[in-house]
Amino acid sequence: MADSSGTHSPRSPFRVWKAFTWSMKGLRSTWDLESSFRLEVYLFVMLAPLGYWWGQSGVERAVLIGSLMLVLVVEVLNSAVEAVVDRWGAEHNELAGRAKDMGSAAVFLCDMNVLICWGLILLPRVLH
């Protein structure tokens, strides 16, 4: 939730904790309701350790693992867009359909990013 006090002072530890609990609630909702997110988490759990092991530098590890993490971030955002569109109404609407398709396209582009990043880092090692 947005800060409503309008101050520039730092958040208190209590407010940081509340923000953390809201984030965990969002992750839990996404886990409970989105099978695609669960699949992507399973893939992350399997591939992130391999990315750490196969990466030969900190930058390579960051790219391999970070590209996987980006898929999870975009999937959560896509799920949020879908929830808002579904809340707005169940009847067919061209803009609602477009919003859902664009969210899906964003996840697809992140998936392609994973393939490109992993391929560019790991394929030269396999081919030589």
Answer yes or no: are the C-beta atoms of 65 and 57 closer than 8 Å: no
Does the pLDDT value for residue 1 go beyond 90?
no
Of 1-5, 16-20, 65-69, 71-75, which gets the smallest average pLDDT? 1-5
State residue 2's pLDDT score: 57
**Regarding the domain delimited by 35-122, which CATH topology (the fold level of the hierarchy) does it fall under?**
Helix Hairpins (1.10.287)
Residues 6+ apart with CB under 8 A from 100: 81, 82, 85
Q: What angle do CA 124, 125, 126 make, to 5 degrees?
A: 90
Does the pLDDT value for residue 4 go beyond 60?
no
Active site residues: 75
Alpha helices (H) in 55-93, listed in sequence order: 58-88
In whole numbers, what is the pLDDT of the chain averaged over residues?
A: 92
How many whole angstroms separate alpha carbon 15 and alpha carbon 20?
A: 9
Residues 63-71, mean pLDDT to the nearest whole number: 98
State residue 12's pLDDT score: 84
> Of residues 128 and 46, which shows the higher confidence score?
46
pLDDT band (50, 70, 90) for residue 8: low
